[in-house]
Amino acid sequence: MIVVTGGAGFIGSALVWGLNRRGADDLLVVDRLRDTEKWRNLVGLRFADYLDKAVFIERLEAGDFNGRIEAILHLGACSSTTERDADYLMENNTRYTARLAAWHLGQPRGRLIYASSAATYGDGAQGYRDDEGALEALRPLNMYGYSKHLFDQLALRRGWLARMAGLKYFNVFGPNEYHKGEMRSVMHKAYAGVVGEGRMRLFRSHRPDYGDGEQQRDFIYIKDVVEMTLYFLDHPELNGLFNIGTGLARSWNDVARALFAAAGRPVNIEYIPMPEALRGKYQYHTCADMTKLRAAGYATPATPLEAAVGDYVRNYLQPGCGLADTTAR
Give catalytic residue positions: 144, 180
Outline where 70-208 has alpha helix (H): 86-89, 96-105, 143-157, 186-196
In this structure, the strands spanning 216-217 and 250-251 are: antiparallel
Considering only CA atoms, which of 140, 149, 272 is closest in space to residue 200? 272
What end-to-end distance do the CA atoms of the chain give, in Å?
27
Cβ-count burial of 173 within 10 angstroms (0-12 exposed, 13-18 middle, 19+ buried)? buried
Q: Taking CA 82 as the corner, what is the angle to CA 78 and CA 282, rounded to the nearest 5 degrees?
A: 125
DSSP state of 68: T
DSSP bridge pairs for 115: 167
Residue 257: alpha-carbon gap to chain centroid: 24
SS3 category, 109: coil
- Whether 280 and 238 have beta carbons less than 8 Å apart is answered as no
Considering only CA atoms, which of 314, 167, 176, 180 is closest in space to residue 227? 167
* Alpha-carbon distance values, 190 to 30, 67, 96, 182, 329 (Å): 30, 46, 34, 11, 22
Residue type, 264: G
- Whether 289 and 243 have beta carbons less than 8 Å apart is answered as yes
What are the phi and psi torsion angles at 260 (to 5°)? -65, -40
- Whether 28 and 3 have beta carbons less than 8 Å apart is answered as yes
